[in-house]
């Protein structure tokens, strides 16, 4: 979790300390989302085997959706007076997702690795819904809820390949 940074002045009426905590949480989830989108691309590029085309397309769709989440998370952090910490170096320090294996090629291998990463991200996001709601920020909670629902759907689409 990054340290609480000083916020810029805004007329947003959420209390300063609440915004500080939310910015910190948003940056933690942002780091995971940027990591996860790169993992989806890694799977998109390297998957091989009988389900090649459907998995190649699905991993790309996942990367695109996750990149859109990153955008919303980063912009919410800035709306609350914070700095979005989205550089590769900052993300590398902050993401708590396991490193995606570089030696995978099979469909099953990528489905297993990527579904695990999606599920780990999903757990963080679901937990963040309650965190934001506990700070009385229904809007950030709503953003996390929207992302959580989309992650559950992506997880279904990916896991269906091994069920
Ligand atoms: Fe591509």
Tell me the C-alpha distance between 141 and 93, whole Å. 25
Q: What is the CA(3)–ligand 1 centre distance, in A?
A: 36
Q: What is the CA(118)–ligand 1 centre distance, in A?
A: 19
Nearest one of 43, 59, 28 to 131, comparing CA atoms? 28
pTM of the shown model: 0.96
Q: What is the CA(2)–ligand 1 centre distance, in A?
A: 32
Q: What is the CA(127)–ligand 1 centre distance, in A?
A: 32
Q: What is the pLDDT of residue 101?
A: 97
One pLDDT digit (tens) per residue for the chain, 163 residues: 555 789 999 999 999 999 999 999 999 999 999 999 999 999 999 999 999 999 999 999 999 999 999 999 999 999 999 999 999 999 999 999 999 999 999 999 999 999 999 999 999 999 999 999 999 999 999 999 999 999 999 999 999 998 8
Q: What is the CA(140)–ligand 1 centre distance, in A?
A: 31
Q: What's the CATH number for 16-162?
A: 1.20.1260.10
Phi/psi at 83 (nearest 5 deg)?
-110, 130
The DSSP H or E segment spanning 51 is none
Q: What is the pLDDT of residue 163?
A: 82
Please name every residue paired with 106 in a beta bridge, in sequence order, or none if there are none.
Answer: 48
Query: Which letter, b or e, does each residue of 67-103 get, where b requires 16 or more Cβ atoms within 10 Å of its Cβ?
Result: bebbebbbebbebbbbbbbbeeebbeebbebeebeee
- Cα dist. 109→12, 26, 51, 112, 114 in Å? 46, 30, 12, 5, 8
């Amino acid at each position: 979790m990054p340290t609480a940074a000083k916020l810029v002045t805004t007329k947003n009426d959420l209390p300063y300390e609440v915004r500080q905590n939310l910015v910190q949480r948003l940056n933690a989830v942002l780091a995971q989302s940027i990591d996860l989108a790169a993992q989806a691309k890694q799977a998109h590029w390297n998957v091989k085997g009988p389900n090649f085309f459907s998995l190649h397309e699905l991993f790309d769709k996942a990367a695109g959706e996750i990149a859109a989440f990153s955008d919303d998370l980063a912009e919410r952090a800035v709306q609350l007076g914070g700095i979005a910490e989205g550089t590769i170096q900052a993300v590398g320090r902050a993401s708590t997702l396991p490193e995606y294996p570089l030696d995978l090629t099979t469909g099953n291998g990528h489905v297993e690795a990527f579904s695990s990463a999606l599920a780990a991200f999903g757990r963080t996001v679901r937990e963040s819904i309650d965190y934001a709601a506990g700070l009385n920020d229904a809007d950030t909670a709503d953003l996390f809820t929207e992302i959580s629902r989309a992650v559950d759907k992506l997880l279904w689409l990916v896991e269906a390949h091994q069920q």
